[in-house]
Structure 1
Amino acid sequence: MKIFKYIALSVLAVGALSSCNDYLDTLPDDRAEIETADQVKDLLVSAYPHYNNNTIMEMMSDNVTDNGKTYASTVLKDELYNFKDVDDTGNDSPYQSWNGYYRSIASANQALLSLKELGAEKDNMNLVAEAKLIRAYSMMQLANTFCMAWNPEKADEYMGLPYPTEPAKFIGGEYKRGTLRQLYENINKDIEEALPYIDDNTYTVPKYHFNRKAAYAFAARFNLYYQNFDKCIEYANEVLGNDPTLVMRDFEPLTQFGAQDIGTQWIKSSDKANLMLLATYSGASYNLVYPVYPRFQHNSIVCSYETFWAKGPWGSGSGGTSLVPGKALLYYSNMLYGKSESVMFPKLMPQFEITDKINQIGYLHAVDAIFTGDETLLCRAEAYALKENPRYDLAIADINTWIQTHCRPEASDGSKRPVLTEQSLKEFMDEMEYTPEKDIEQWSEYTIRKHLHPLGFTIEAGSTKENIVNLVLHMRRLETMYQGLRFVDLKRYGIAFSHVVKGDGIKEFNTEEVNYADPRGAIQLPADVIKAGLPANPR
């Protein structure tokens, strides 16, 4: 039996049309013939997202600051850094992220429909599972970008997003945003239905697909955000096993390489830490890593007081001066490159696809390790501290595992890698002042200790829970640099921060004392989508 279908390359096809329904239902005339399950498998290879939200989320976060007007920028970086609604429609913009993730969802939906019409669902539940995880992941990325963070007390009030479960049709029901609760319930449903059927034998190159460990790592992160902490722990355990170091990065060999080689090694599918890799069309490496447009960037000041060189339980890095190799315990601190206006750790390095060898032109890609054992460990550590009956001992054990793999045993100045206890962590945090929440211009006032205003629950200031969460959030910040997850954490915990704009004052975020849930945390929908009829995010 032959089945001819329009492959839905974009559920949300670009263009201002007469109504929201028309906008969401219009398809390009790109026909494909699907007549076997193997062809569905091939379709799923191309169903993974081709765009990302890294630039959006990083430029909105506290990982960057302003080097001044003498340095070049782009319209996109300027709008994001200033917390403006974005008009830019180029690569890495909200416009491209929106369309890219919904294209991915459309292809996953086409795969599901084709399997159904071929009568091949029961015999290919592994393909059904992969399609549902692609759909769930793309919807989660859209939620992280265009919605508020999960808050069970506000989930029926906050807007969600359309969650298509079929390829777009020229007739059909209306598309509505729904609520955040409905959106998360749909993501959760897809994940739960998919997990039992993931089969690593399906894939030739498993690390570029939702292999079993990647699927459970995704489930762990989602349930952390969803505040299902016991579920997060359960799924993280499936990834980490009895010895988490078996799926964590080995930093010592990387110290022998230069920047480009570190970047190459970082995304090797053979690296035990890399659970899943995603290749996208993206200039994120030039926006975030290389100082091509360095006005708004992760510079030596942010690095010294907030990120890699900031004081942690393992000591500090360079203190704002040129790094002395081998001085710091933290491996990251000894593997930084660039200039004072742009200090980079060499991950997410530019990858070029040459399409014209004579003229040396082609496409710029970013290859991102979107799920790793290291990040999954930190998801579990946070969940241990936040669960109904917290296990601080297990949370600190995970923290120590991270320190063990991310710090040298001994630095050149004789300092030793720490092994934390609840008491030693308390003593460290008690020595740290909280970073002020408003009008911050003195970088010397910054520390890794932040005021936490979590959405949907409370954490007592100065408690063991707060100490653990603050440290884990800092470690997650280092672990996920350039990947956009820091902004999600800022939203989840209502952490106040500021973007200093030289010559134009201070732009504050999350500093409303009554409600530490800044509406700008939900990036504005693309203008064409709003014009087509979907309600805009409130401002």
Structure 2
Amino acid sequence: MKTKNILFALGVAGLMGSMQSCDSFLDTMPDKRTEINTPTKVRDILLSAYPTLHPTIMFEFMSDNYADNGDMYSSPMNLAIESYMWKDAVESDWDSPQEVWDANYRAIASANQALSAIEEMGTPAECLPYKGEALLCRAYGHFMLANTFCMAYNERTAANELGIPYITAPEESVGVVYERGTLEDTYRKINEDIEEALPLVAGITFNVPMYHFNEKAAYAFAARFNLFYGKDYDKVIAYATKAIGTDPTSVLRDLNGYDKFTTTKEWTYGYISADEPSNLLLITNRSLYGRVGNQRYGITNDIFRSQLAWSYFPGNKQLTVYNTVFHYNYMSYFIPKMTEIFEITNQIAQTGQPHVVIPAFTTDETLLCRAEAHVLKQEYEAAATDLSYWYMKKGISACSAQQIIDFYKATDSKGNPNANVKELHTGVTYTEEQTYLIHAVLHARRVEGLHEGIRWMDIKRYGISYQHNIYNGEPLTLLPDDPRKAIQIPQEVLFAPGDMTPNPR
């Protein structure tokens, strides 16, 4: 890789002072300032049914994308440090577990208010698409909470794993005690909401579709959920195809033109553009994620070259679309998907709130969900075809299933395995072909979902174990079934009336 193509990014601004956490869900009555009695009002309240915070900081720093470069370099916020060390978060501040919990349950509360209003109006036909959107928002909020605060879903263990409270109606009183139930319960209810919603959003239209659960985004969500659920891989394939088509080449992200961007902000605006066909659902988040770039805990050159965007793929090729990347003093590499967008709320004081835009669902990630489902169904050439769509869009050649298997199976001159081949611990016995093709999909997903939290969810799903190095200290190890893979329920929730069960430690 030619280093002359690397662009140097300016350092990030200092962190803002701490803020008070929003009122905690389970302690606060819902906002009923206006009666929701028309389809227009239902539509409007659904604008607040999308969570305003994604657990990206925690997910990224907990993953194997990051390493400790040493105490001679600047450190990020405490949450990033705690996440890197897999410690339970202490502060209830920006991007914290408490904020993620509150943001998702506030969104769920808005979805439930919309659903209740639709029912009270007699479920008029013109409200049916909004009912579908509300059901999807409710399912998505619970899905994100489960993937944050629970262990990964595994059919063999889910009936004995803790879930999260699944809220299906507006709160009518303060202090209601909610049971966590099992992870099996949680996923069953998510599935019910999704299945009810899909026919309702057929043909749904919005002024800016990418900021709502449009029909394609709905099927992309259904595909990812069913992949994680693991009960019906035919559904994954069918739903993904409804979202992206059989041959998605024309709607996959084309990064070839991104080399014209010379700043991180330009790159970000290109990536999150509503005109980008790869973006199926974009969600604006109030987050400091745009400020956590640092040199202490970062994506090192070695990780970037061996396992991420500069790593080798089948055919011993690098992805040419990533010739241009950004970095902090050559110590931490990144792709600027999440540059901060600052919203000024006080023009006189020039104060406001930082935001990033999360690409919640994209055609590329949906394609890789379908590829993985084909692998799990032992449809290896179909999986290779889907992987090849992604390879070709990223600048390398299509490959057969055997070529992909041979690449990940090969060792280097010293007998070391491919750095992207790590032991899988799911309780399932995979064929050799499946094993290496799963690694091929996870490798592509790791690159595609960089900075978006995708890797952490895949680590959990496949029981991947790895270490985080500690400068001048012993490395930390995360085990396959490590209970720390379920982020602890926020302290304010645990200490609230009702004694919610904490995650085991």
Which residue of structure 2 lines up, in the alignment, with residue 459 of structure 1? 430
What does 1:52-201 align with in structure 2 at a 5 Å threshold?
A: 52-70=54-72, 71-170=74-173, 174-201=177-204
Structure-2 change in CA distance of 1:29 and 1:140 (3 Å): closer
8 Å Cα contact 1:312/1:448 also seen in 2: no
Alignment correspondent of 2:392: 404
Instruction: Tell me the CA shift for residue 330 of structure 1.
Output: 3.0
Pairs within 5 Å for 1:477-488: 477-488=446-457
Amino acid at match of 1:203: F
- Residue matched to 2:223: 220
Q: Tell me: CA distance 1:220–1:201, structure 2 relative to 1, closer, same or farther (3 Å).
A: closer
Q: Does 1:469 align with 2:438?
A: yes
Q: Aligned partners of 2:329, 2:287: CA distance in 1, in Å?
A: 23
Q: Tell me which residue corresponds to 2:233.
A: 229
Which 10-residue stretch deviates more, 165-174 or 113-122? 165-174
Which residue of 1 is the match for residue 26 of structure 2? 24
Does residue 537 (structure 1) correspond to residue 503 (structure 2)? The answer is yes
Distance 1:369 1:393 in 2: 29
Aligned to 2:492: 528
| Cα deviation 1:351-407 (Å, max 9, x = unaligned) | 1111233443211001121111111000000000102xx210100001111000011
Deviation at 1:332, TM superposition (A): 2.0
Secondary structure of the residue aligned to 1:362 is strand
- How many residues are matched? 480
Deviations 1:228-285 (Å, cap 9, x if unpaired)?
2111011001012132112211121112222332211101101111111110101112
Secondary structure of the residue aligned to 2:178 is: coil
| Structure 1 residue 486: Cα displacement | 0.6
Counterpart position of 1:323: none
Q: Check the 8 A contact 2:291/2:340 in 1, yes or no.
A: yes
- Residue by residue over 1:110-142, the C-alpha shift from the partner in whole angstroms, topping out at 9 and shown as x without a partner, is 111111112235441111110010010011100
Change (3 A) 1:253 1:520: same
- 1:242 pairs, out of 221, 246, 251, with 246
* Paired residue type of 1:348: M
Q: C-alpha root-mean-square deviation of aligned residues, in Å?
A: 2.2
From 429, 432, 437, the equivalent of 2:408 is 429
Change (3 A) 1:450 1:30: same
**AA aligned opposite 1:267:** I
Deviation at 1:433, TM superposition (A): 6.3
CA distance in 2, matches of 1:146, 1:392: 33
Aligned equivalent of 1:350: 340
Q: Aligned partners of 1:339, 1:330: CA distance in 2, in Å?
A: 22
The reply to whether residue 274 of structure 1 matches residue 274 of structure 2 is: no
Q: Work out the CA distance in 2 between the residues paired with 1:160 and 1:267.
A: 32
How far is the alpha carbon of 1:26 from its aligned partner? 3.4
**How far apart in 1 are the matches of 2:405 and 2:103?**
44
Say if 1:68 and 1:344 are closer, same or farther in 2 by CA, change over 3 A: same
TM-score (structure 2 length as normaliser): 0.90
Give 1:379's aligned residue.
Answer: 369
Call closer, same or farther: CA 1:305–1:184 in 2, change over 3 Å: same
CA distance, structure 1, for counterparts of residue 27 and residue 350 of structure 2: 38
Distance 2:444 2:34 in 1: 46
Tell me the CA shift for residue 172 of structure 1.
Answer: 9.3
Q: Say whether the 8 Å CA contact 2:22–2:99 is kept in structure 1.
A: no
1:73 CA drift (Å): 2.5
Counterpart position of 2:5: none
CA distance in 2, matches of 1:381, 1:204: 32
Aligned residue number for residue 505 of structure 1: 474
5+ residue gaps, structure 2: 1-20
Deviation at 1:310, TM superposition (A): 2.1
Per the TM alignment, residue 173 of structure 1 is displaced from its structure 2 partner at its CA by: 6.7
Contact 1:25 1:168 in 2 (8 A): no
Which string of whole-angstrom CA distances, capped at 9 and with x for unpartnered residues, describes residues 399-421 of structure 1?
111000011xxxxxxxxx33312
- 1:125 and 1:13 map into 2 onto residues whose CA distance is 32
Q: Which amino acid aligns with 2:354?
A: L
1:423 Cα shift?
2.5
Which segments of structure 1 move beyond 6 Å, counting only runs of 4 or more? 433-436
Q: TM-score, normalised by structure 1?
A: 0.85
Q: Distance in 1 between matches of 2:152 and 2:248?
A: 28
In the TM superposition, residue 218 of structure 1 has moved relative to its aligned partner by 0.3
The percentage of aligned residue pairs carrying the same residue is 39
Judged with a 3 Å threshold, the aligned counterparts in structure 2 of structure 1 residues 331 and 74 are, in CA distance, closer, same or farther, namely same
Q: Give a deviation string over 1:204-230, Cα, whole Å, max 9, x none.
A: 111100000000000000000001211
Pick closer, same or farther for the CA change 1:163–1:484 going to 2, 3 Å. Answer: same
Matched to 2:500, the amino acid is: L
Q: 2 CA distance for matches of 1:428 and 1:183? A: 39
CA–CA distance in structure 1, aligned partners of residues 176 and 474 of structure 2: 47
Unaligned runs of 5+ in 1: 1-11, 16-22, 317-327, 408-416, 437-443, 511-515
User: Does structure 2 retain, via aligned residues, the 8 Å contact 1:25–1:170?
Assistant: no
Matched, 1:332 2:322: yes
Shift of 1:446: 6.9
Task: State how far apart, in whole Å, the 1-side matches of 2:500 and 2:413 are.
Answer: 41
Question: What SS does the corresponding residue of 1:277 show, helix, strand or coil?
Answer: strand
Is the CA contact (8 Å cut-off) linking 2:111 and 2:135 kept in structure 1?
Answer: yes
Take 1:145 and 1:477, find their aligned partners in 2: how far apart are those partners? Answer: 18
